[in-house]
Amino acid sequence: MSDKIAQHKHCRACGKAFVGSDRFCSEECRTSNTTNLQKKKRQLLLLYVVTFVVLILALVATWG
**Domains identified in the chain, total number:** 1
Residue 18, Cβ density class (10 Å: 0-12 exposed, 13-18 middle, ≥19 buried): middle
Q: What is the pLDDT of residues 30-48, one digit of tens each?
A: 999 999 999 999 999 999 9
- Let me know if residue 24 belongs to a domain: yes
- Let me know if residue 17 belongs to a domain: yes
Q: What is the pLDDT of residues 49-58, one digit of tens each?
A: 999 999 999 9
> Which residue range forms the structural domain that includes residue 50?
9-63
pLDDT at 3: 80
pLDDT at 4: 84
- Let me know if residue 43 belongs to a domain: yes
